[in-house]
């Protein structure tokens, strides 16, 4: 039993949940008043958009790519949501669908021309930002009422962000980890050659994964304006790095198709909590980003340590 | 085209070229129902290319492919192969390490979907594993990356024999026993005989000649992209099989080199190393001024030995003794050899930079002088040594890499199959240069996949599975002996 609990495999799987729990405990110790329905709601309200962006990034990482444009893309969809979708819903839905299709197209381009995804998505991040600025030159707009209504849901006993994050994690878990095509998609990250040899289209797997990432990017943008009720082209610039950090914190790896949707959601929750934790410690906002990076390095160092024991 | 009804596969005049390399040069092959076909040949004979063509992963440049009596040339693909019941177990494993055993089974079977697919896939692969390898100890929900290499190979083999909707007619096994121990290898081969009795067919590719001789109905021998012999298995003996695979050695070549004296023992030892196998392996010894050949099938530990010696020269090692500075001539020019953005002169000078430093900076005059000197000595064909290295032909790039090693202070030169894809004229020039330098007291360690080159060596060590299995002085060297030691006696 003890041997099983200290095995690298178990430790690696438990690390995301453990770091989240430890961080939560530390917050409750520093600020006992946070241990309430209202406190939790406040601390975790931004986890839903971060978790959705993290899931989007996780899809990309599953097929051994990296998306450096997810932040700008979430910003764009937020701008579309606060303008087109609110004013002319049909046009808004069309625009958001086009965004998802563009993402799938990027996946096809990356596979077809064998391009490095980092370069393509870095370039696209400026494209997304440019379009967002064209749509909404100054911060403003209004989120559609139904989006605000969903994000403002009050669920008894458990704060809405936690329920939403768990729901997102479970849905993606079933789709990617339990479904039969999900196995093929993950296999395309683990050994693309083998998947090709077994007769599957690698182009299709790339397009499906990028399309799914685009879809979750759209959801992330909408949930974000549901909280802020207005949008700005730069509203989600930090999400690019949050999303990568969330996937890695959640036990995913950059290559090899080893990812965990539940872990990624927990990683996003952890990231959202670090901000609150540092505020409770009265660390000035100037230092917060650096301190957040410090926590990240600490957790990832722990994982590297576990992996070394395994090797 | 005439195709007998009981043929699963009929290939006629199939060819596949990769640039100038003729991997397949017009191969005829038939596989009958219910036969185990053994396929043997030296490295680069074209066996793996042929199997990739059959599996649908490579499209041949020309030739006729008949499957079950239908002409499918030009429309053959992985999918068509699957529909016609042809499967391949590739030499390098094609499992996804991040998936479980059951999930990997699912990858092979598009029809395994819907509720409970994981359980069904797991049951299917487990049943097949139990059938082929009783007592295998593999669970369907084990992650493949956590399994040992032998167990991974067992999963891969079992997976190839599982069936769902399409019937299975032919399984190609490319080096299936390379990671299996004697017991499991025996289980597999017995299973192959059993399914062959049930009107399925197998192609067995193996470097273990004993397996091929004992388990094949018919044996096909390939050499240089051609089928050179195809006879019933019982007509072959180990010796006739080896003879069919090998080249006829040109006697002039040997006599020409007989002018060398055998130096062993007259000069001090400069290298003493042990191969991976530890006690099983003969020691690796090189005396000053010797040219030592490293032979055997590709990637059986020769490069690893060179790198170990290189490491030992850079920092002291207890197990390996190396006296004197070393330099390495890389075989894979583009990855390990040239600096793509640098000039020819810079590429030559890099190994000798410490000697060309003036006031903390590289002396460009010294670098240019070294470049000119070696352009002269080794005849690099270029108008200007300041041109980019990639402006040279492949052979001349390789000459530049030789110049890099020879221009340095190194007394020991390690060569990792440096003549790959080099034209014969350049080769002969470099051979002369090596002999010249060896007479001056430099030691050469020369890994080569071309047997002819070994006749330049004073001593040849044959590697198999990382272990030195033969130590042949020049006068005892023959291709047959190298082949004999390269292939295992039995499983």
pLDDT in tens, B15-59: 988 766 678 888 999 999 999 999 988 766 788 889 889 988 888
Q: What is the CA radius of gyration of chain A?
A: 19
Confidence (pTM): 0.78
Contact B78 A257 (CB under 8 A): no
Who has greater pLDDT, B331 or B118? B118
Q: For B374-402, how does the pLDDT look when each residue is reduced to its tens digit (9 = 90+)?
A: 988 888 888 888 888 888 877 788 889 99
Residue pair B424/B373 in contact by the 8 Å Cβ criterion: no
Q: Does position B158 have pLDDT exceeding 90, yes or no?
A: yes
Q: Is A199 on the interface with B (CB under 8 A)?
A: yes
The residue behind tokens 């207005």 is: A230
Contact B106 A183 (CB under 8 A): yes
Residue of chain B whose alpha carbon sits nearest to that of A182: B103
Residue from B54, B90, B99 to probe the interface with A (highest A Cβ count within 10 Å): B99
Confidence of residue B490 (pLDDT cuts 50, 70, 90): very low
DSSP letter for each residue of B401-428: HHHHHHHSS-SEEEEESTTTT--HHHHH
Which residues touch B464 (CB under 8 Å, ≥6 apart)? Answer: B296, B297, B300, B485, B486, B488
Who has greater pLDDT, A275 or B425? A275
Question: What phi, psi does B371 have (nearest 5°)?
Answer: -60, -45
Q: Given the DSSP bridges, would you call strands B62-67 and B7-18 parallel, antiparallel or unpaired?
A: antiparallel
Q: Does position B3 have pLDDT exceeding 50, yes or no?
A: no
Quick one: angle between helices B238-245 and B479-486, nearest 10?
120
Mean pLDDT, rounded, for A226-233: 93
Q: What is the largest CA-CA distance in chain B?
A: 81
Q: What is the pLDDT of residue B491?
A: 39
Q: Is B80 on the interface with A (CB under 8 A)?
A: no
**Chain mean pLDDT for chain A:** 91
Helices (H), B84-175: 101-108, 117-132, 149-161
Q: What span, in angstroms and rounded, lies between the C-alpha atoms of B400 and B79?
A: 46
Q: What span, in angstroms and rounded, lies between the C-alpha atoms of B83 and A66?
A: 36
Residue numbers in A near B112 (CB within 8 A): 180
SS3 content of chain A, % helix, strand, coil (to 5): 75, 0, 20
Q: What is the pLDDT of residue B5?
A: 57
Q: What is the pLDDT of residue B263?
A: 53
* CA dihedral over A209, A215, A218, A222, signed as positive or negative: negative
Give the minimum alpha-carbon distance from A74 to chain B in angstroms, rounded to a whole number: 30
Quick one: angle between helices B101-108 and B149-161, nearest 10?
40
Confidence of residue A311 (pLDDT cuts 50, 70, 90): low
Mean pLDDT, rounded, for A40-60: 93
Q: What span, in angstroms and rounded, lies between the C-alpha atoms of A11 and A3?
A: 11
Residue numbers in A near B113 (CB within 8 A): 180-181
Contact A191 B82 (CB under 8 A): no
Tokens matching residue B315: 């920092």
Q: What span, in angstroms and rounded, lies between the C-alpha atoms of B410 and B404?
A: 10
Residue from A63, A180, A263 to probe the interface with B (highest B Cβ count within 10 Å): A180
Burial of B224 (0-12, 13-18, 19+ CB in 10 A): middle
Give the minimum alpha-carbon distance from A215 to chain B in angstroms, rounded to a whole number: 24
Q: Which among A183, A179, A188 is positioned nearest to A207, based on CA atoms?
A: A188
Q: Who among A9, A190, A197 is closest to B99 (CB)?
A: A190
ipTM for the predicted complex comes to 0.90
Q: Does position B342 have pLDDT exceeding 70, yes or no?
A: yes
Q: For B247-262, how does the pLDDT look when each residue is reduced to its tens digit (9 = 90+)?
A: 544 444 444 554 455 5
**Number of DSSP helices (H) and strands (E) in chain A, helices first:** 16, 0
Tokens matching residue B279: 């006690």
Mean pLDDT, rounded, for B86-100: 87
Q: What is the pLDDT of residue B248?
A: 43
Residue from A191, A258, A263, A311 to probe the interface with B (highest B Cβ count within 10 Å): A191
Q: What is the pLDDT of residue B243?
A: 82
Bridge partners (DSSP) listed for residue B443? B412
């Amino acid at each position: 039993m003890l041997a099983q609990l200290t095995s690298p495999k178990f430790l690696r799987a438990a690390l995301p949940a453990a770091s989240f729990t430890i961080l939560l405990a530390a917050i409750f110790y520093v600020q006992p008043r946070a241990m309430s329905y209202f406190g939790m709601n406040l601390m975790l309200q931004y986890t839903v958009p971060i978790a959705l962006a993290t899931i989007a990034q996780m899809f990309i990482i599953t097929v051994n790519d990296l998306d450096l444009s997810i932040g700008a893309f979430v910003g764009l969809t937020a701008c579309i949501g606060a303008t087109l979708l609110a004013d002319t819903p049909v046009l808004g839905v069309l625009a958001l669908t086009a965004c998802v299709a563009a993402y799938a197209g990027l996946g096809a381009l990356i596979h077809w021309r064998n391009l490095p995804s980092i370069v393509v998505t870095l370039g696209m991040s400026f494209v997304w930002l440019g379009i967002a600025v064209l749509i909404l030159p100054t911060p403003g707009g209004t989120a559609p009422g139904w989006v605000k209504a969903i994000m403002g849901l009050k669920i008894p006993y458990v704060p809405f962000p936690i329920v939403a994050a768990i729901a997102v994690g479970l849905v993606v878990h079933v789709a990617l980890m339990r479904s039969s095509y999900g196995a093929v998609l993950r296999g395309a990250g683990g050994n693309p050659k083998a998947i090709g040899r077994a007769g599957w289209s690698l182009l299709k797997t790339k397009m499906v994964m990028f399309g799914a990432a685009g879809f979750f990017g759209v959801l992330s943008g909408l949930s974000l304006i549901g909280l802020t009720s207005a949008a700005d082209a730069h509203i989600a610039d930090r999400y690019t790095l949050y999303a990568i950090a969330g996937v890695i914190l959640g036990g995913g790896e950059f290559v090899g198709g080893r990812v965990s949707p539940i872990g990624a959601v927990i990683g996003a929750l952890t990231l959202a909590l670090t901000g609150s934790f540092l505020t409770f410690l009265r660390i000035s906002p100037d230092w917060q980003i650096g301190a957040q990076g410090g926590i990240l390095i600490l957790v990832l160092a722990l994982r590297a340590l576990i992996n070394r024991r395994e090797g | 085209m005439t195709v007998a009804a009981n043929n699963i596969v009929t290939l006629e005049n199939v060819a596949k070229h990769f640039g100038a390399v003729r991997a397949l040069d017009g191969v005829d092959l038939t596989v009958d129902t219910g036969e185990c076909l053994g396929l043997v040949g030296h490295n680069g004979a074209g066996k793996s290319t042929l199997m990739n063509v059959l599996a649908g992963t490579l499209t041949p440049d020309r030739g006729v492919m008949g499957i079950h009596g239908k002409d499918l040339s030009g429309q053959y693909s992985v999918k068509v192969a699957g529909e016609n019941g042809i499967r391949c177990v590739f030499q390098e494993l094609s499992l996804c390490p991040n998936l479980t055993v059951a999930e990997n089974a699912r990858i092979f079977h598009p029809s395994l979907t819907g509720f409970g697919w994981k359980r069904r896939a797991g049951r299917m692969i487990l049943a097949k594993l139990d059938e082929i390898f009783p007592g295998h100890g593999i669970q369907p929900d084990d992650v493949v990356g956590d399994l040992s290499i032998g167990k991974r190979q067992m999963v891969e083999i079992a997976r190839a024999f599982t069936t769902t909707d399409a019937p299975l007619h032919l399984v190609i096994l490319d080096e299936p026993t390379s990671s299996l121990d004697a017991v499991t290898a025996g289980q597999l081969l017995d299973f192959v005989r059993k399914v062959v009795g049930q009107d399925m067919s197998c192609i067995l590719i193996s470097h273990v000649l004993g397996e091929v001789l004992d388990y094949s109905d018919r044996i096909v021998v390939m050499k240089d992209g051609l089928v050179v012999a195809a006879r019933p298995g019982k007509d072959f003996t180990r010796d006739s099989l080896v003879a069919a695979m090998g080249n006829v050695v040109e006697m002039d070549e040997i006599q020409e080199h007989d002018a060398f004296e055998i130096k062993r023992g007259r000069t001090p030892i400069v290298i003493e190393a042990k191969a991976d196998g530890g006690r099983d392996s003969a020691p690796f010894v090189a005396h000053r001024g010797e040219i030592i050949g490293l032979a055997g099938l590709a990637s059986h530990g020769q490069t690893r030995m060179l790198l170990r010696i290189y490491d030992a020269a850079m920092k002291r090692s207890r197990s390996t003794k190396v006296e004197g500075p070393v330099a390495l001539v890389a075989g894979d020019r583009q990855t390990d050899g040239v600096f793509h953005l640098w000039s020819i002169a810079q590429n030559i000078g890099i190994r000798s930079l410490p000697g060309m430093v003036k006031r903390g900076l590289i002396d460009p005059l010294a670098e240019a002088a070294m470049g000119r000197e070696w352009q002269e000595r080794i005849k690099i064909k270029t108008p200007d040594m300041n041109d980019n290295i990639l402006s040279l032909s492949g052979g001349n790039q390789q000459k530049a890499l030789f110049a890099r090693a020879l221009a340095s202070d190194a007394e020991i030169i390690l060569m990792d199959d440096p003549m790959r894809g080099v034209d014969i004229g350049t080769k002969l020039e470099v051979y002369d240069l090596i002999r010249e330098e060896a007479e001056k007291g430099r030691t050469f360690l020369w890994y080569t996949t071309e047997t002819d080159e070994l006749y330049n060596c004073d001593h040849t060590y044959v590697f198999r599975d990382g272990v030195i299995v033969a130590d042949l002085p020049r006068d005892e060297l023959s291709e047959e002996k190298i082949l004999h030691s390269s292939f295992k006696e039995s499983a």
